[in-house]
Amino acid sequence: MTCLTKKHILEIENLSVSFLQYDKGMRQRSLQVITNLSVSVHEGEIVAVVGASGSGKSLLAHAVLGLLPANADVSGTLRFEGKPLTAASIAALRGKGITLVPQSIAYLDPLLKAGKAVRKNKRDAGARKKQRELFAHFQLDPATENLYPFELSGGMARRVLLAAALMDDPRLIIADEPTPGLDLELAKKALADFRAFADQGNGVLLITHDIELALSVADRIAVFYAGTTVEEAPVIDFEAETTLRHPYTKALWRALPENGFAALPGNQPYVKAMPKGCPFGPRCSLFSPSCEGEIPLKTIRCGTVRCIKATGSVEV
Amino acid sequence: MALADLTVSVPVLAKARRKKLNQRKKTIVVFLFACLLLLGITVGGILAAETAVTADLSQKYITPSLQHLFGTDQLGRDMLARVVKGLSTSILIGLGAASCSAVLAILLGSAAALLGEKVDAAITWLIDLMLGIPHIVLLILISYALGKGFWGVTVGVALTHWPSLSRVIRGEILQLKETQYVKTARKLGQSSWRIAVKHMLPAVFPQFLVGLILLFPHAILHEAGITFLGFGLPPEQPAIGVILAESMKYLSVGMWWLAFFPGAALIGVVALFDLAGGSLRRLIDPHSAQE
Amino acid sequence: MKRNRLLNFVGKQAAKLIILIVVISMVAFFLVAVSPIDPVQMNTGQAAYANMSLEKRAQLEEYWGVNTPVVEKYTNWAKDIIHGDWGTSLRFNQPVLSVIAERFTNSLLLMIVAWLFSGVFGLLLGIAAGVYRGKLVDKIIKGYALTLASTPTFWLGLLMLMIFAVWLSWFPFGFSTPIGVSAAEATLGQRLYHLILPALTLSIIGVANIALHTREKVIDIMESDFYLFALARGESRGEALRHHCLRNLLLPAMTLQFASISEIFGGSVLVEQVFSYPGLGQAAVSAGIGGDAALLVAIAIISACFVFCGNLIANILYGVVDPRIRRGHGLG
C-alpha cells in the first residue's frame, strides 16, 4: 500500500462502527459512524488522522482499544505487529503494547493524586523512580505527584497524561487530540516527545483536527471525512495541491493559510443522512452519477485514496 | 500487504446487545395497568365497606380458605373485605393528603423561586427545618395537635410531605428563569403572569405530575405507620394500620394471616404507585428512557 | 487564618443549632397546646374521670398544667431549660432528662447497629448490582431493593416476630431484656440477644436506599472517562474498580448514610413499637398518646439535634475526605 518497507505495527482495514439507538423512542436503528476505515502505522512512524471536530475520530481510538460501549457494533480487521487481533487479544494489549493519550483532564480520576495515577496505583520503588523520571522529563515539579487533577493546570494535566502513556513502555501510542491547552512551547515539546518515541522504532497514531500540527510532525497523513479515511498520503505530498489525490484533501490544502485560506462551502453530511456512494459527492466539483456507486480503495503512488476520479498521473 | 487479504471476510469484533420489546409501548401498557388496578381496589373497597365491619362470631379465627381467602379475625369479620376496604381508605387519604402537599409544594416552590431573595431564604430555611425533624416525630406532633383521627393523619401527612418536591420545583423554575426564551419573553415586555402561564407552567407541570404520583406511596406508608402507632384513624375503621395493630395481639398465638395479608397487600399498592410514577417519568423524560 | 476559619465554622454551626432548638421547641409547644386532647382524661381513664370529684379534677388539671396559657408555659419551660431542668415527665413520673437518657441509650444502640449494617450491606449490594448491571444478580438486588422501599417497616417487624420468635423461637418476643430482669441487671449478651431482631428489621429496610444509590453511582463511574482510561492502560475490570470505584463511591455513600439518620430514627419509632423495645421512639408514642407535653417536646428537640449532628458529620467528613473541598475551599 505504501512505499515503506518497514514493518507494520498497526494495520486497520475496513473498520466499521455502528451504534444501536432509539429513533424517536419507538424504533431501534443502527447508526453507522465509521465506515470501511483503513489506516496503518509502521515502525518509527507518526501517522496523523486528520478530520473536522465532531466527525467521530475519537471513536476510532476507542474502537482500536476495544473500549466502545455495549450498544456498539464493530467489524473489520485489526493487526498488531502482523498478528490479527480478536476482542480478547485487544484486551491483552491495552497498556502493554498499545496505550492511549486521552484528550482531557476528565480522563483522570478526580480523587487520585497525579503520581499515583501515573503509576497505576503501584507503590514499588521501580515504578516510583520511573514516574519521577518522567515527571522530570516533562518539567513537572516533583510536588506535582501529590496534586489532585483539579489542582493541575491544563498544560500540567496534559503532561501528566503523556507521562502516564510513556510509563507503560508501549509500542504504539494512540494520541487523541493531545495538544489543545498547551502553549506553543509545550505543544512543540509534546510533539518532539512523540517524535523521539517514534524514532526508537515505535509508532504513534495521532488523531487531530489540526492539519498544520499534523503536517509539522507526522510522516503520513490520513484524511478522515464522514466516518472514513478518504486518503492516506505521505506528508511530502502536501507540499503541492497537485500531488494530492482526493478532492477533499485538495480542498483542505487550499484552506491552509499559506495556500489562500479558501474555505470549502457546505458541511460534512450528518450520520443519519449519509449520501449514497462517495460521502464527499454532494460537495465535490468532480461529482458524476458514477460517484453514487461503490468506491474502491485505490493505491496511487505511495498513498491510497477512495475516489473513482483519482488518477495516477500528477495533474498540473 | 497481499491483495488476497482484502477479500478475507471481515471479522466481527464487537456486537451490540439488542432489546426485543418496544420499551415505550410497554411503558404505556404498564402505566395504564397500574392505574386501572388501583382504581379497581379503590372502588372495591367502597363496595366492601359493609362486609368489612360485619361481625359473625360463629366464624371466628378461620385460617385462609376458599371461602375466606385472607381468613377471618377475632370477630369473624372477613379479612379480604377488611383489607380491600383498608387499602381503599389508605389510597383515598393518600391521594387527598399528597395532593394537598403537592399544591403546597408548588406554591412554596414557585414563591421561593419568583418572589425574590428574602422569600427564597425564608422558604429554603423552612424546608431545611422540616427536613431536620424526623418525619414520624412531626407526624405525631401534628396528629396530636389535631386530636388524632382522620383529620390528624390527613393534615399531618399533607403538612409533612411537601419539602422535597418543593425543592425540585424551586430548582426547576430557577433554571427556567435563566433560559433564553424566558429572558427574551421578558425583554419583549410580556407580563410576569403571562410568562408564568405560557412558558413556565408547561415546563414545570410534567415534573410536578411525576412528583405528585411519587408522593402517593410515601403518603400511604406514613398514613399506615401513624395509624399503626395509634395517632391516625380510629380503631373502629378498617384501616391497614388499625388491622395490623390489632393483629399484634394474636401474633404470639400464631395467627399469621391477620398480619401477613394486609401488609403484603399494602406493599402491592405502594409498588403499583411507584410503577405508575416511574413509567410516567419515563414517558415524560426522555433521559430515563434507556434504562 | 486557618484557625479563624475553623472558629467561624464552629460558631456558625452552633448558632444554627441554637436557632433550630428554639424554633422546634416553640413549634412543639404550640402543637401540644392547641391539641383538643385532655391529658387528665387520657391518663385517668374514662370511668375514673367520670367519677372524679371536681376538686380532684382541678388538682389534676393543675398538675398537668391544663389551664396555664401557652406563652406562660413556654417561658417557664424555657427558663428551666436554661438552668438545665428539662421538666418532669408526667407519664413516667420521672425527670424528662433521666427518661431520655435511659431511652436514648437503648435507641442509640439499636440505631447504630442498624445504621452500620445497612450501610455496609447496602454498599456491597449496590456495587454488585452496578458491576453486573443488567445481569441476573442486578435484577435480583434491584428487585429486592425496590420491594423493600415499598415495605412498611412495622409490617416487616411483625413478619420477623412471626417467623423468628413465634415459629422458630430463635429470638425473644420483643423487649430489651428478659421478662422480670431490669435493664441494670441484664447482661450484655442478653441485651444483644434482644437487640438482634429489631436491629435486623431496621437494617433490612435501610439497605434499600443506599443499595439503589450506590448502584447508580457505580454505573456512572463505569461510564466515566477515567474508568475508560484505566481500562485503556491495561487495568483489568477488577483493578479499575478497586482503584477508582470504591474511592469515588465512599463519599456519596457516606453522605447519604448520614443524611438518612432521620429515616432510621423514624423507622426505629415503628420498630420499637412492634418489638416493645423501650427506646426513645416508644417513649415518643406513649408521650403522644398520654399528652405528656414536656417529654414530647424534649423528644422532638433531641431527634432534631440527632439529625442535625448526622448532617454536620456528613459535611465535615466531606471536607476531610474530599480533596476538592479540603484543598479547594475549606470547611463550609
| Domains parsed from chain A with CATH numbers | 8-108+152-305 (3.40.50.300)
Residue C63 in contact with partner chain A when CB distance is under 8 A: no
CA distance, residue C84 to nearest chain B CA (Å): 22
- Determine the pLDDT at residue B122: 92
Which of A149-163, A179-193, C56-70, C123-137 has the highest average model confidence (pLDDT)?
Answer: C123-137
Residue C1: pLDDT over 80: no
Residue C131 in contact with partner chain A when CB distance is under 8 A: no
**ipTM of the assembly?**
0.83
What is the C-alpha to C-alpha distance for residues B238 and B157, in angstroms, rounded to an integer?
Answer: 19
Percent of chain C with pLDDT over 70: 85
Q: Is residue B76 within 8 Å of B57, Cβ to Cβ? A: yes
Q: Is residue B161 within 8 Å of B97, Cβ to Cβ? A: yes
Residue A68 in contact with partner chain B when CB distance is under 8 A: yes
What are the residues whose beta carbons fall under 8 Å from the beta carbon of B169, sequence distance 6 or more?
A: B105, B106, B109, B110, B113, B204, B207, B208, B211
Give every residue of chain B whose pLDDT is below 70, as ranges.
Answer: 1-23, 52, 57, 60-61, 66, 76, 285-291
CA angle A220, A224, A229 (to 5 degrees): 80
Phi, psi of A112 (to 5 degrees): -115, 130
Residue (of A272, A267, A296, A293) closest to A282 by Cα position: A267
The set of cell numbers assigned to A109 is 480520576
Chain B positions in Cβ-Cβ contact with residue C311 (cut-off 8 Å): 132
The set of cell numbers assigned to B185 is 419573553
- Determine the pLDDT at residue B185: 82
SS3 call for C251:
helix
Contacts with C, A 266-305, CB within 8 Å: none
What is the C-alpha to C-alpha distance for residues C262 and C270, in angstroms, rounded to an integer?
Answer: 13
**Which letter does DSSP use for residue B9 in this model?**
P
Per-block average pLDDT, block size 10, for chain A (316 residues)?
Answer: 72 86 63 86 91 77 84 86 84 86 84 86 84 87 87 83 86 85 75 87 89 87 87 86 84 83 78 79 82 82 83 55
Strands (DSSP E) contained in chain C are 88-89, 94-95
Nearest CB neighbour to A76, from listed B13, B18, B286? B13
Residue (of C174, C164, C179, C165) closest to C194 by Cα position: C174
Contacts with C, B 196-235, CB within 8 Å: 217, 221, 224-225, 228-231
CB burial of A110-121 (b: ≥16 within 10 Å; e: otherwise) equals: bbbbbbbbbbbb
- Determine the pLDDT at residue C121: 92
Question: What residue of A is the nearest CA neighbor of C222?
Answer: A69
What is the C-alpha to C-alpha distance for residues C198 and A241, in angstroms, rounded to an integer?
Answer: 82
Residue C151 in contact with partner chain A when CB distance is under 8 A: no
DSSP output for B252-285: TTT-THHHHHHHHHHHHHHHHHHHHHHHHHHHH-
What is the C-alpha to C-alpha distance for residues C35 and A234, in angstroms, rounded to an integer?
Answer: 90
Helices (H) and strands (E) in chain B, counts: 12, 1
DSSP output for chain A: --S--SPEEEEEEEEEEEEEEEETTTEEEEEEEEEEEEEEEETTEEEEEE--TTSSHHHHHHHHTT---TTEEEEEEEEETTEEP-HHHHHHHBTTTEEEE-SSGGGS-TTS-HHHHHTTT--SHHHHHHHHHHHHHTT--GGGGG--GGGS-HHHHHHHHHHHHHHT--SEEEEES--TTS-HHHHHHHHHHHHHHHHTT-EEEEEES-HHHHHHH-SEEEEEETTEEEEEEEGGGGGSGGG--SHHHHHHHHHSGGGT--PPSS-PPPGGGPPSS-TTGGG-TT--GGGGS----EEETTEEE--TT--SSPP-
Residue B20 in contact with partner chain A when CB distance is under 8 A: no
Chain A positions in Cβ-Cβ contact with residue B19 (cut-off 8 Å): 28
**Which letter does DSSP use for residue B11 in this model?**
P
Residue C228 in contact with partner chain A when CB distance is under 8 A: yes
Residue position matching grid coordinates 456507486: A293
The set of cell numbers assigned to C209 is 436506599
Q: Comparing B255 with C154, which gets the higher pLDDT?
A: C154
Largest Cα span, chain B = 95
Nearest CB neighbour to A111, from listed C228, C232, C248? C248
Chain B positions in Cβ-Cβ contact with residue A18 (cut-off 8 Å): 16
Residue C173 in contact with partner chain B when CB distance is under 8 A: yes
Residue (of A201, C190, C308) closest to B132 by Cα position: C308
Residue A88 in contact with partner chain B when CB distance is under 8 A: no
Contact B19 A26 (CB under 8 A): no
Dump pLDDT digits (tens) for C223-271.
888 898 888 888 888 888 888 888 888 888 888 888 788 888 888 899 9
Q: Which chains touch A (3 or more CB pairs under 8 A)?
A: B, C
Residue C56 in contact with partner chain A when CB distance is under 8 A: no
Residue (of B90, B95, B131, B91) closest to B213 by Cα position: B95
What are the residues whose beta carbons fall under 8 Å from the beta carbon of C45, sequence distance 6 or more?
A: none
Contact A22 B12 (CB under 8 A): no
SS3 call for B72:
strand
Interface probe for C, chosen from A96, A104, A111, A131 (most Cβ of C below 10 Å), is: A111
Question: What residue of C is the nearest CA neighbor of A113?
Answer: C323
Q: Is residue A156 within 8 Å of A113, Cβ to Cβ? A: no
What is the C-alpha to C-alpha distance for residues B52 and B44, in angstroms, rounded to an integer?
Answer: 11
- Determine the pLDDT at residue C122: 92
CA distance, residue A107 to nearest chain C CA (Å): 4
What is the C-alpha to C-alpha distance for residues B139 and B173, in angstroms, rounded to an integer?
Answer: 29
User: How does strand A172-176 pair with strand A98-101?
Assistant: parallel
Chain B positions in Cβ-Cβ contact with residue A19 (cut-off 8 Å): 16
Nearest CB neighbour to C231, from listed A67, A109, A151? A67
DSSP output for C81-148: HHTT---EETTTTEEHHHHHHHHHHHHHHHHHHHHHHHHHHHHHHHHHHHHTTTSHHHHHHHHHHHHH
Please state whether the predicted TM-score (pTM) of the whole model is above 0.95. no
Q: Is residue B268 within 8 Å of B82, Cβ to Cβ? A: no
Distances (CA, A) of B283 to B167, B206, B207, B271, C103: 22, 10, 12, 18, 48
Contact C155 B266 (CB under 8 A): yes
- Determine the pLDDT at residue B242: 84
CA distance, residue A24 to nearest chain C CA (Å): 23
- Residue C227 has a CB neighbour count (10 Å cut-off) of 23
Chain C positions in Cβ-Cβ contact with residue B140 (cut-off 8 Å): 269, 284-285, 288, 296
Contact B147 C151 (CB under 8 A): no
DSSP output for B189-201: T--HHHHIIIIIH
Chain A positions in Cβ-Cβ contact with residue C133 (cut-off 8 Å): none
Residue C169: pLDDT over 90: no
Residue B7 in contact with partner chain A when CB distance is under 8 A: no
Residue A99 in contact with partner chain C when CB distance is under 8 A: yes
Residue A210 in contact with partner chain B when CB distance is under 8 A: no
DSSP output for C45-71: -HHHHHH--HHHHHHHHHHHTTTS-HH
**Roughly how many angstroms between the first and final C-alpha of chain A, as a whole number?**
24
What are the residues whose beta carbons fall under 8 Å from the beta carbon of B75, sequence distance 6 or more?
A: B55, B56, B57, B60
Contacts with B, C 181-240, CB within 8 Å: none
SS3 call for B238:
coil
Residue B155 in contact with partner chain C when CB distance is under 8 A: no
Residue B260 in contact with partner chain C when CB distance is under 8 A: yes
Nearest CB neighbour to A26, from listed B1, B11, B22? B22
Residue C225 in contact with partner chain A when CB distance is under 8 A: yes
- Determine the pLDDT at residue C140: 92
Chain B positions in Cβ-Cβ contact with residue A87 (cut-off 8 Å): 13-14
Contact C226 A110 (CB under 8 A): yes
CA distance, residue B241 to nearest chain C CA (Å): 9
Helices (H) and strands (E) in chain C, counts: 16, 2
- Determine the pLDDT at residue B17: 59
User: How does strand A298-300 pair with strand A27-42?
Assistant: unpaired
What is the C-alpha to C-alpha distance for residues A304 and A310, in angstroms, rounded to an integer?
Answer: 10
**Which letter does DSSP use for residue B10 in this model?**
P
Q: Which chains touch C (3 or more CB pairs under 8 A)?
A: A, B
Nearest CB neighbour to C225, from listed A107, A164, A168? A107
- Determine the pLDDT at residue B2: 36
Residue B147 in contact with partner chain C when CB distance is under 8 A: yes
The set of cell numbers assigned to C85 is 431542668
Distances (CA, A) of C130 to A106, C125, C137, C148, C213: 21, 9, 9, 18, 10
Chain C positions in Cβ-Cβ contact with residue A109 (cut-off 8 Å): 226, 230, 243-244, 247-248
What is the C-alpha to C-alpha distance for residues B139 and C31, in angstroms, rounded to an integer?
Answer: 11
SS3 call for B245:
helix
- Determine the pLDDT at residue B16: 64
